[in-house]
Amino acid sequence: MFVPRPHLIDALEGKPCRLQLLCAPAGYGKTSLVQQYLQGIAPPGAVVWMALGGQRQTLERFIAKLAGALGLPVDTAPDGVLAFLDSGLSVPVTPLSRAGSLLQLTVLPCGSEPAREEARAANEFLQEEHRSESRPIRLVLDDLPVEMPADLNHWFDRLLSLNNRQLQVLVTCRQRPDWNLPRLMLTGQLLEFGARQLALRPDEFESLIDALAPHTDALARGTLWHETGGWCAGVRLSLSLDHARPSPLLGQYLERELLSRLSDEQREVMGGMAHLSRVSADFCEQLWEGRQAAWVFNSLLECHAFVFPLEQQPGWFRLLPAVAQALQSHLSGAPLNRLRLRACQLLSVLGHVDDAVEQALCADQPEVAANYMERLWLSWILRERHLNKLMEWRERIEPQLLHSSLRLIYLCAKALLFSGRLDEAAECLARLGHFLPLPDPVRNQRLLANWQALFGTLQALRGQAGPARLHCRAALDYLGGEDWLSVLLCHCILARLAMGTGDLAQAQTLLDHSLELARRRGSHESEVLVNADRVRLMMLRGQAGFAQALLRTELDRLAPFPSQPYPLLGRLLFLRGELLLQQGHCSEAEVVIQAGLLQVRDCCAPFVLNAYLLLAEIASRNHDPEKAHLLLHEAERRMQWGKIDSALYQAPIARQKNRILAREQPAETGHASVTRLSAGVPDYQDDLTPREVSVLKLLAEGMSVREVGSRLFISENTVKTHAKNINVKLGACRRTQAINSAKAMGILA
């Protein structure tokens, strides 16, 4: 399958320097890219292609091959080849064919009479071709060997310093050669592409999948993208012929192209790395004690053995996931368990407790895993995919272990709340009572305050606003600096409740306190979550410009992170999609929301519902009610698979169904249908505050904003704010649309 790489071709053509170096692991399309580049160059000049196949070379053997390719005597000395290339003469080689502008050459057996005759004929041909102007000579070294003798490296340094401006060297390799590359870089004579540049871009990846397996769904595509990171060969070989199962060809490819070129020590370390989520030189040295593993690890880095740095974590690396999966069978049984337990100890000491927990569970040691879980920071749950990770651990650890300490119970209760599993969270919170009262009255009061913070959150999620306020405010009276996360949670819950009642000034004050607390504690994830609430507050106030700017800032900050699914990024993308939809940009909103779904594809949390509600709204506005209902069905299915409490999704889904029906049918018949549908569902009017209902009724009577304000003794700006809130809650863009929807839903007579 041919994948055009126009942006890379443009980069090569735009900087025709002395050395163009393509250095990356096998399967990144290095050779194909050079071939594409040479097919389109102008003027064509002469091309000498030497396929080295990664085989060891001596200076004598290499010069003999190159001399043959140039039509020189096979015993030509290295200096003679350099002098010839430096002379600027046309290259006397035999053309096999002229395909476009690429002149392909062959290596003839030098010294024979036929060879000399053909060389002379070729020389005459090329001299005629190049009579009018000097043409470049391009020397292509395909698959340069990893190790080369010092005298050959020295010869290449001399080659690259020749005065012949028409000489260009193109090299594909899997390890940076030991040449004077810094000098070339300083003089502007080096262009280098690594795996990052050669990896497929998202659009190229999608084109390849469309060609190989066009029916692959978005979830499978996202998983494959995460596993391969744009590695072309990995994408192709991960798909079997029926495009339904992983292909064994990937393992065979790696055996031939990677493992066969490694030493026994390198193969051993690679086999262990396949089971580890992170590695470093020091970590390997301790893990394989007395085996010079740090040196082996660094050698794997140098030879580009699919070991890539972890983003934002200097010194730490991991195998490309697709490669790791393919190599995991190389280590198993008791040796693997010993490696895991040793890794578990080292990772915990180095502060990577979550990785230690995972290794302990994989080694079938749940008691050890539970012990390490107690060491996790309570704010850990907010980061990356950690919520999912913790919920997975709960399924693999016996309940009695998870209920063995206050910290574990608190951690699990918080995870269950954030996952929308409210009944289980309530049971978990009840278990904290088994540890009461504590001997120390100060600790006892602190435990009660943290319990109240979580219980207030539980009540808020269940829609019990009064008890939620009571518990959160009571908790704040006793929470100290060490409990900053509970303080932050209480402030955010109270802010959301204030937004629900239209008390936007109180919500602003609470969110300002939350934002300052998150920043002072250095919790970027907490800051993002608080800013998500601030964006929603700005939307309610009609401050779309400020909301867009804040969202853009947060999205830019998260942009370097996602080499893997990142739910926090997905959450922000859903919010951006909602803002775009509110402004009437349906198509753009759909693209953004779909991108967000890729970030939360394996996440089970209530906020994922927002994506499906928004997509259903877009489908409804596009007059595709069938698609809208299918999206709502998928939303319900996902919530149920995630064991999310029905109180968190049934009413929003029912309301969205009502919106769809209101658009499908005239108001008269729609009202009757909606009434029947709403017979498990709360009155839609509960979604509007009493003041918003009052404003809506007066607007429906045809009053102006000023008249409504005068009647209700509120300012015109407050009326406008209520009107925007009404539009958001009813999924409308204009006043008339909101009034019609409200009539269809029974809010207005």
Cα–chain-centroid distance for residue 319?
16
Residues 135 and 227 in one domain: no
Provide the token pair at 535: 């964006």
Q: Give 169's strand partners.
A: 19, 139
Confidence at 131, pLDDT banded by 50, 70, 90: very low
* Position 560 in a domain: no
User: Which of the pair, 690 or 17, is modelled with greater confidence?
Assistant: 17
Place of tokens 């009609």: 542
CA–CA distance, 448 with 467 (Å, rounded to integer):
16
Q: Is the pLDDT of residue 529 over 90?
A: yes
Q: What is the pLDDT of residue 735?
A: 84
* Position 269 in a domain: yes
Beta strands in 639-681 (DSSP E): none
* Position 43 in a domain: yes
Q: What is the pLDDT of residue 581?
A: 87
User: Which of the pair, 674 or 24, is modelled with greater confidence?
Assistant: 24
What sign does the dihedral 689-690-693-698 (CA atoms) show?
A: negative
CA–CA distance, 79 with 635 (Å, rounded to integer):
72
CA–CA distance, 176 with 710 (Å, rounded to integer):
76
Mean pLDDT for the stretch of residues 566-572: 91
Mean pLDDT for the stretch of residues 301-313: 90
Residue 734: phi and psi, rounded to 5, are -130, 165
HSE toward the beta carbon, residue 332, CA cutoff 13 A: 5
Give the CATH number, domain containing residue 536.
Answer: 1.25.40.10
Confidence at 96, pLDDT banded by 50, 70, 90: very low
Q: Is the pLDDT of residue 144 over 90?
A: yes
Confidence at 125, pLDDT banded by 50, 70, 90: very low
Q: What is the pLDDT of residue 702?
A: 85
What sign does the dihedral 536-537-542-543 (CA atoms) show?
A: negative
- Lowest mean pLDDT, pick from 116-120, 310-314, 447-451, 602-606: 116-120
Residues 15 and 142 in one domain: yes
Give the CATH number, domain containing residue 325.
Answer: 1.10.10
Q: What is the pLDDT of residue 561?
A: 54
* Position 536 in a domain: yes
Residues 170 and 243 in one domain: no
Residues 46 and 134 in one domain: yes
- The pLDDT > 70 percentage for the chain reads 87
Residue 219: phi and psi, rounded to 5, are -65, -45
What's the pLDDT tens digit per position in 677-705?
333 733 333 467 778 888 998 898 888 89
**What does the mean pLDDT of the chain come to?**
85
**683 within 8 A of 742, measured Cβ to Cβ:** no
Listed in sequence order, the DSSP H helices in 307-365 are 321-327, 333-349, 353-362
Residues 321 and 216 in one domain: no
* Domain interval for residue 707: 684-744
Q: Using the 3D structure, point to which of 480, 507, 541 is the last residue of a domain.
A: 541
Give the CATH number, domain containing residue 715.
Answer: 1.10.10.10
- Lowest mean pLDDT, pick from 83-87, 97-101, 344-348: 97-101
| Pairing state between β 102-105 and 137-144 | unpaired
Q: Is the pLDDT of residue 290 over 80?
A: yes
| The pTM of the whole model exceeds 0.85 | no
Residues 207 and 148 in one domain: no
Residues 173 and 110 in one domain: yes
* Position 265 in a domain: yes
* Position 116 in a domain: yes
Q: What is the pLDDT of residue 89?
A: 53
CA–CA distance, 560 with 576 (Å, rounded to integer):
18
Give the N- to C-terminal CA distance of the chain in Å, as an integer. Answer: 63
Q: What is the pLDDT of residue 675?
A: 44
User: Which of the pair, 478 or 117, is modelled with greater confidence?
Assistant: 478
Checking 93-100 for CB contacts under 8 A at 24+ apart, the result is 93/46, 93/48, 93/69, 93/119, 93/122, 93/126, 94/118, 94/119, 94/121, 94/122, 95/122, 95/125, 99/39, 100/39, 100/40
Q: What is the pLDDT of residue 200?
A: 94
Give the CATH number, domain containing residue 106.
Answer: 3.40.50
CA–CA distance, 105 with 454 (Å, rounded to integer):
74
Residues 326 and 218 in one domain: no
- Lowest mean pLDDT, pick from 509-523, 664-678, 687-701: 664-678
CA–CA distance, 590 with 593 (Å, rounded to integer):
5
CA–CA distance, 156 with 711 (Å, rounded to integer):
88
Q: What is the pLDDT of residue 264?
A: 94
Q: Is the pLDDT of residue 136 over 50?
A: yes
What's the pLDDT tens digit per position in 432-444?
888 888 889 999 9
* Position 214 in a domain: yes
Confidence at 431, pLDDT banded by 50, 70, 90: very high
Residue 664: phi and psi, rounded to 5, are -75, -35
Q: Using the 3D structure, point to which of 488, 523, 541 is the last residue of a domain.
A: 541
Helix, strand counts (H, E) of the chain: 39, 9
Mean pLDDT for the stretch of residues 495-523: 92
Residue 412 one-letter amino acid = C
* Position 290 in a domain: yes
Residue 187 one-letter amino acid = T
CA-wise closest residue to 246 among 321, 336, 358: 321
| Pairing state between β 167-173 and 19-23 | parallel
Residues 121 and 264 in one domain: no
**127 within 8 A of 160, measured Cβ to Cβ:** no
Mean pLDDT for the stretch of residues 224-237: 91
**652 within 8 A of 609, measured Cβ to Cβ:** yes
**DSSP letter assigned to residue 19:** E
Residue 58, classed as helix, strand or coil, is: coil
Residues 110 and 221 in one domain: no
Residues 239 and 258 in one domain: no
Q: Using the 3D structure, point to which of 178, 198, 218 is the last residue of a domain.
A: 198
Q: Give the chain's domain count.
A: 5
Mean pLDDT for the stretch of residues 361-370: 94
What's the pLDDT tens digit per position in 56-88?
999 999 999 999 888 888 888 998 899 888 876
Residues 233 and 159 in one domain: no
Q: Is the pLDDT of residue 173 over 70?
A: yes
Listed in sequence order, the DSSP H helices in 559-649 are 567-582, 586-599, 608-621, 625-641
